[in-house]
Amino acid sequence: MKLVYFAWVRQHIGTAEEELSPPAEVATVEQLLDWLEAQSEGHAKALADRKVIRVAVNQDFAAPDHPVGPNDEVALFPPVTGG
Amino acid sequence: MTIKVQAEDFDVGAELKALAEGNTQIGAVASFVGLVRDIAPEPPDTDSPHANVHQSAMTLEHYPGMTEKALAQVEADAKARWPLDATLIIHRYGRLLPGDQIVLTACASRHREAAFEACHFMMDYLKTKAPFWKLEEAGGEARWVDARESDDTAAARWAKKEDAAP
C-alpha cells in the first residue's frame, strides 16, 4: 500500500510517502489509521487528533468506513486551505 | 472546461479573452481572482533588529493528481447546475508573495446570472475540495494555515439551495 502525506502530517511523519504492508485485518480507513498510529512516534503525533485528519483513497476523499487494500494509494492530510 | 495547476503567474485579461473567444453565444463572463494578503505585523521600529523583515510569504503545497481530479469535479458540478458555455480554473502552487495572484475561476454563459452564481459556487467548492495547503511565513516563523469553518459553511450553502430547489 502506498501512503502519501501532506502539510503538517508529512512533517510529523518525516516523509512525503512510504510503501507499507499492513496486516490483512486492516480493511478500512479507520483500521488503517489505528494501525499507522502504532508505527512510530511521528505517526502517532500526526494522527493524535483524528478530527483534523482527512483521507483520500486513490485520490478521492474517503470516509472512515471506506475499504482499503494492498494496491491502494492512501493520502493523509489536514483539512484543505487552498483558494 | 479548463483546469491549470501551475507555479507560474497568469494573465487574467488574456485568459478571460480566450475563454469566450470563438463562441458568440456567450453574453457573460464572470471571474474571481484570489490574491496573497500581507499578513506580516505592522512594520517594526527602525531600532529593532527585525526592522527590515516586514515581509510575509506563502507556500502552497498540493497533491498532484488529486488536485486536477478535484478541480475537474468542481467544474463538472458547476456545469451540471448552470447552463455554462465555458469554465476555467487556474490555481498556483509554490512560494508566493503579498499581491501575487493565487487562483482564478471564471464562467462564461449566455446570461449573467448563471455566470455569477457558477463562479461563486466554483470558488466556494474549490476551497473545501481541492487538496491545497497554505504555509504562511511572517516575522521569521512559518505556520500551516488552519481551515476555516466559514469555508465549510460557504460550500454547504450551495447544497442547501439544491435541496430547496423545486
DSSP letter string, B66-106: HHHHHHHHHHHHHHHHS-EEEEEEEEE-EEE-TT-EEEEEE
Supply the pLDDT for residue B140.
83
**CATH code, domain with B16:** 3.90.1170.40
Residue A14 lies in a domain: yes
C-alpha cell at B2: 479548463
Probe site for chain A from B6, B68, B133, B153 (most A CB atoms < 10 A): B133
Question: Quick check: B165 pLDDT over 80?
Answer: no
Question: Quick check: B4 pLDDT over 80?
Answer: yes
Q: Tell me what the mean pLDDT of segment B84-107 comes to.
A: 97
Under DSSP, the state recorded for B11 is -
Supply the pLDDT for residue B66.
98
Residue B46 lies in a domain: no
Residue B157 lies in a domain: yes
**Pairwise CB contact (< 8 Å): B60 & A82:** yes
Question: Quick check: A5 pLDDT over 90?
Answer: yes
* Residue B127 domain boundaries: 2-37+56-164
Q: How confident is the model at residue B139 (pLDDT cuts 50, 70, 90)?
A: confident
Query: How does pLDDT run across A38-50, given as a tens digit for each residue?
Result: 999 999 999 999 9
Q: Tell me what the mean pLDDT of segment B122-128 comes to.
A: 96
Residue A83 lies in a domain: no
Instruction: Give the Cα separation of B116 and B28 in Å (integer).
Output: 9
Contact B62, B133 (CB under 8 A): yes
Beta-carbon contacts of residue B36 (< 8 Å; ≥ 6 apart): B57, B58, B96, B97, B98, B99, B100, B102
Residue A82 lies in a domain: no
Query: How does pLDDT run across A17-31, given as a tens digit for each residue?
Result: 999 999 999 999 999
Residue B151 lies in a domain: yes
Contact A18, A3 (CB under 8 A): yes
Supply the pLDDT for residue A65.
97
Please count the residues of chain A. 83
Instruction: Give the Cα separation of B35 and B92 in Å (integer).
Output: 11
Tally of domains within chain A: 1
Residue A38 lies in a domain: yes
Predicted ipTM? 0.95
Supply the pLDDT for residue A10.
98
Residue B49 lies in a domain: no
The count of CB pairs under 8 A between chains A and B is: 69
Residues of B with CB below 8 A from A75's CB?
A: 63, 66, 131
Tally of domains within chain B: 1
**Backbone φ/ψ region at A47: left (φ over 0), alpha (ψ -120 to 50), beta:** alpha
**How many angstroms away from the CA of B123 is the closest CA of chain A?**
7
Residue B12 lies in a domain: yes
Return the SS3 of A1. Answer: coil
Q: What is the mean pLDDT of chain B?
A: 90
- A53 and chain B: CB distance < 8 Å anywhere? no
CB atoms within 10 A of CB B69: 17
Residue A25 lies in a domain: yes
Question: Quick check: A7 pLDDT over 70?
Answer: yes
* Residue A69 domain boundaries: 2-77
Question: Quick check: B54 pLDDT over 80?
Answer: no
Q: Which amino acid is at A33?
A: L
Which of the two residues, B124 and B38, has the higher pLDDT score?
A: B124
Residue B51 lies in a domain: no
**CATH code, domain with A59:** 3.10.20.30
Residues of B with CB below 8 A from A56's CB?
A: 63, 66, 131
**How many angstroms away from the CA of B133 is the closest CA of chain A?**
5
Percent of chain B with pLDDT over 90: 75
Which of B84-93, B126-135, B139-148 is least confident?
B139-148
Residue B42 lies in a domain: no
